[in-house]
Amino acid sequence: MIEDSVLVQHCLAGEVDAIRTFVDRFQGTVFGLCYRMLRHREDAEDITQETFTRAFRHLRQWQPGRPLKPWLMAIAANRCRTRLARRSHQPQLAGEWQDYAVNPAPTCGLAEELDNGLQELREDYRICFVMFYQQELSIQEISAALECPPGTIKTWLHRARKQLAEYLQQRGVVNQDGDELH
């Protein structure tokens, strides 16, 4: 597999194949984060597009020694934060977001419950959780992306897990003993 630094050089040269490879390599990660964070397909597509566009505009400033994936995830996380903040300032549209939000498949009850629980988390915790479990970034990579010490990332991740566990208990998904009910 071609290295990120070489891929970037080909992309900067405008090679179509390299651009497609770049998109194929990172779009799932970026789009997954956006989708999990925003829970809205069109919004997720918009933010994914914004993320890649911004990344391309600053690709010349990207340092080859820096991992590309956390860098992209940092851009995506910031864009998601901005979009969520914009939503929070538009309370009249809150209902519309819910109306157009993607409904998960009915067979995925547990996943849906977890998704709902994620929305209750603080943004930092949510980003951390999605990056770690959905995108499978390491603590070090998340630390680099969010520019926080690894210890802080571990704490945020633990708090996210703890709050989600409590949420699932409140929702009756897990009983007081921690056993799964359905």
- Backbone angles phi and psi of 180, in degrees to 5: -75, 135
Q: Within 61-100, which residues bind another protein (CB under 8 A)?
A: none
The one-letter amino acid code at 22 reads F
Instruction: Check if the beta carbon of residue 11 is closer than 8 Å to that of residue 18.
Output: yes
105 binds another protein (CB under 8 A): yes
CB of 9 to another protein, least distance (A): 12
Q: Which residues have a Cβ under 8 Å from the Cβ of 20 and sit 6 or more positions away?
A: none
Instruction: Check if the beta carbon of residue 37 is closer than 8 Å to that of residue 87.
Output: no
- Return contacts of 57-62, CB within 8 angstroms, 24+ apart: 59/8, 59/11, 59/12, 60/12, 62/8
14 binds another protein (CB under 8 A): yes
Whichever of 84 and 139 has its CB closer to another protein, that residue is 139
Question: Among 7, 8, 30, 72, which residue interacts with another protein (rule: CB under 8 A)?
Answer: 30
Site map (CB under 8 A) of another protein, residues 135-164, x = contact? ---xx--------------xx-xx--xx-x
CA dist., res. 153 & res. 142, Å (int): 7
CA dist., res. 125 & res. 72, Å (int): 18
Whichever of 98 and 170 has its CB closer to another protein, that residue is 170
Instruction: Check if the beta carbon of residue 153 is closer than 8 Å to that of residue 139.
Output: yes
- Backbone angles phi and psi of 100, in degrees to 5: -95, 0
CB of 118 to another protein, least distance (A): 9
CB of 78 to another protein, least distance (A): 19
> What is the size of the binding site for another protein (CB under 8 A)?
56
Positions in the binding site for another protein (CB under 8 A): 11-12, 14, 16, 19-20, 22-24, 27-28, 30-32, 35, 41, 44-45, 48-49, 52-53, 56-57, 60, 102, 104-105, 108, 110-111, 113-115, 133-134, 138-139, 154-155, 157-158, 161-162, 164-166, 168-169, 173-174, 176-180
